Chains A and B, each alone.
Chain A
Amino acid sequence: MKLHAISLRRIWAVFIKEFIQMRRDRLTFGMMVGIPLLQLTLFGFAINSDPKHLPTAILSADHGPFARTLIAAMRSSQYFHFTGVAPTEEEADTLLKNGEVQFVLHIPEDFSRKLLRGERPDLLVEADATDPAATGPALSALAQLMDGALRRDLHGPLAYLSPKPGPVQLVLHRRYNEEGITQYNIVPGLMGVVLTMTMVVITSLAITRESERGTMENLLSTPARPSEVMIGKILPYIAVGYIQAGLILLAAHFLFHVPMLGSLVLLMTLILVFITANLALGITFSTVAQNQLQAMQMSFFFFLPSILLSGFMFPFRGMPEWAQWIGEVLPLTHFLRMVRGILLKSNGMAEVWPNVWPILVFILVVMLVGIKRFRRTLD
């Protein structure tokens, strides 16, 4: 009697065992639920790529109406929060240097006079530009509001001073996220980040633990085949992955009001593909790692580029070409495009397919390596 077919009974046996162990390991189980919640709080509430209300000091030698108009316009843009008046240049310098203010607005003595004479007076804004991301949006808003602000004051006989419209009328449509709400981009992406973080680590540990505790020797002396052990071990974690994804989707809908335009069924199906990719990688790591510590390190080593080069943290198109190539290999990159596409742009299968097949290729390659290594570790 030769048994070469995969046995569902043995997969089920491994599944039940793994499930009991997972449930009993309170810390790990807590982490699997805790990590999505923590990340939601961190990234969902704390991160904002469009910072407003930045502290600004005024160093003004002109208190005429034009200066007041400008200040009022800046304040109403919400980007600038005037914290006080700096009496001298030195003090303005100190404020910037100490980081007490982000900007210093210099209004020269003869600002109003020069303006009225049509001499194009200087208006100096000094910015603490150590973090370009912090000052960028405020500065670009400033350039735009300058023209509009003075137009209202320069009417009647002064109208000739008003800035002329350019030769081209620029029309901007911010599509899919008109208000530019950071959360719309981040929260769906978090699903991928959390799954990458937990699925790879947990599976890589699940198998190394068996070798480290010596239970692998026993398992391999039974008729259980490597593929049965692998499948039995993966299945409970797929369920965990869905719980995590579900938690984040609920939060996205109820807490962050992220639009969900596309098909949720399609999304749920593709989540399975993505979870499988991460689980397969975790298993492959575990066949290479000698112990649980190494498995952790390898998972972390993979997690870092995933979060940095996938387009989650930084715009993908802003990266140099080599970094984009690395990014294209990572499942997270494609998953982010899929999730954002489905939720925000109501993409269908046809639109997301270019991001599905690279993940499938990834799974295939990683599985082949894993199964090859798993066979070898029998000896």
Chain B
Amino acid sequence: MKRDELVIDVEGVTKRFGTRTVVQGINMQVRRGEIYGFLGPNGSGKTTFLRMLCGLLRPDGGHGHCLGFDILTEAAAIKERVGYMTQRFSYYADLSLEENLDFVARIFGVPKRREAVQQSLEKLGLGGRRKQLAGQLSGGWKQRLALAASLIHSPQLLLLDEPTAGVDPKARRDFWSELHQLAADGMTVLITTHYMDEAERCHRLAYISYGKLLASGTVEDVVRQAGFETWEVTGPELNDLMPKLQAAAAIEQVVPFGRAMHVSGKDSAGLQAAIAPFQVDPYRWRPVPSSLEDAFIGLMGSSEDNFA
């Protein structure tokens, strides 16, 4: 590593498809050993950004370094040291697990290839099914195979595009403990996800919408940047209350949470004025800290339409 501790250090990264700007001037700095969450609604440009980092797409604007190599001119060197797990399963359905891993290991020139492949299979817990074709695996197992394959050459940076989509809770927990283990050993991880609990497990986060970075930092930072005040209301017949609250201009979002409802807005005074008429029996109100989910839904609502 030439540069101190910044594994990803990019500025103003921009990508256009035709006339549409899909990623707009994104700055990102990720330190070594960090697990960095990358969140945003569908179509916000997360996958596109990851592709630019690993040299699959050429940015139309911006500059920076990844693992100390220039993202514009040294893509080949970056590719050697990055493990990229694509959003869509992209290994060979007509090759067995072992053959898939073997292929990747050959391409990267992994030393002691056979051993590395065996170890990887053991760790996957798929040693007994090594001859099975990858196409016959269940969705969750495909994800695990893909992760194992992207780790086989011991990359310094791991780019994971929704790695846990469709993975069961137990496997997800195992997956996250492994990530933290890897990070403790010095690997850097940039991961996209739509799960809140996963977002909370990241060291730091970035939230992107319509190609623009709207918030970044620790969970608390992001919640603070969203600038929401949230009140929780409990009581009977909350469903009837919902449309009345939604009608108020200062109330930006009303979200049912089981037997309670979260009511939030950016304008504190306006929000309190709006809920005042309903602060009567049988409803019980109390201010609560905004959750990450509140913050995200709020950020999502305040940005422009992604499908334009």
Contacts and interface: CB of A to CB of B under 8 A. Distances in A.
Interface of A: 1-4, 7, 9-10, 12-14, 16-17, 20-21, 24-25, 213-218, 220-225, 378-379
B26 interface: no
B88 interface: yes
Contacts of A21: 92, 94-95
Specify which of A24, A213, A215, A222 lies most central, judged by the most chain B CB atoms within 10 Å of its CB: A222
A16 B105 CA distance: 12
B198 to A, nearest CB: 23
Interface residues of B, number: 29
A221 B79 contact: yes
A222 B79 contact: yes
23 contacts: A1-B77, A3-B76, A3-B77, A9-B106, A9-B109, A10-B107, A10-B109, A13-B107, A16-B103, A17-B99, A20-B95, A24-B95, A214-B88, A214-B90, A215-B91, A215-B92, A216-B90, A217-B90, A223-B80, A223-B107, A225-B76, A378-B56, A378-B57
A223 B109 CA distance: 10
B84 A221 contact: yes
A221 B56 contact: yes
Contacts of B80: 3, 223
Nearest to B103: A17
Given A17-B99, A223-B80, A379-B57, A12 B94 contact: no
* Interface SS of chain A: helix
A10 B76 CA distance: 14
Contacts, number: 76
B260 interface: no
A13 to B, nearest CB: 3
A3 B74 CA distance: 10
A217 B56 CA distance: 8
A247 B210 CA distance: 59
Interface string B92-110: 1111000100011011110
A213 B93 contact: yes
B92 A17 contact: yes
- Top 6 A-B pairs ranked by shortest CB distance? A13-B106, A218-B90, A221-B84, A214-B90, A223-B79, A214-B88
A321 B133 CA distance: 54
Given A9-B106, A10-B107, A12-B106, A379 B58 contact: yes
B195 interface: no
Contact of B106 (A10, A218, A220): A10
Interface in B53-67: 54-58
Given A3-B76, A217-B86, A221-B84, A13 B103 contact: yes
B176 interface: no
B283 interface: no
B260 to A, nearest CB: 42
Contacts of A16: 103, 106
Contacts of A25: 94
A17 B95 contact: yes
Contacts of A20: 95, 99
A223 B108 contact: yes
Contacts of B54: 221
Contacts of A17: 92, 95, 99, 103
B254 to A, nearest CB: 39
A21 to B, nearest CB: 5
A219 B84 CA distance: 10
Contacts of B94: 21, 24-25
A17 B58 CA distance: 28
Contacts of A213: 90, 93
B89 A214 contact: yes
B107 A224 contact: yes
Nearest to A9: B109
Nearest to B105: A13
Given A13-B107, A25-B94, 4 more contacts: A3-B77, A9-B106, A16-B106, A221-B79
Contacts of B93: 213
A221 to B, nearest CB: 4
A25 B55 CA distance: 32
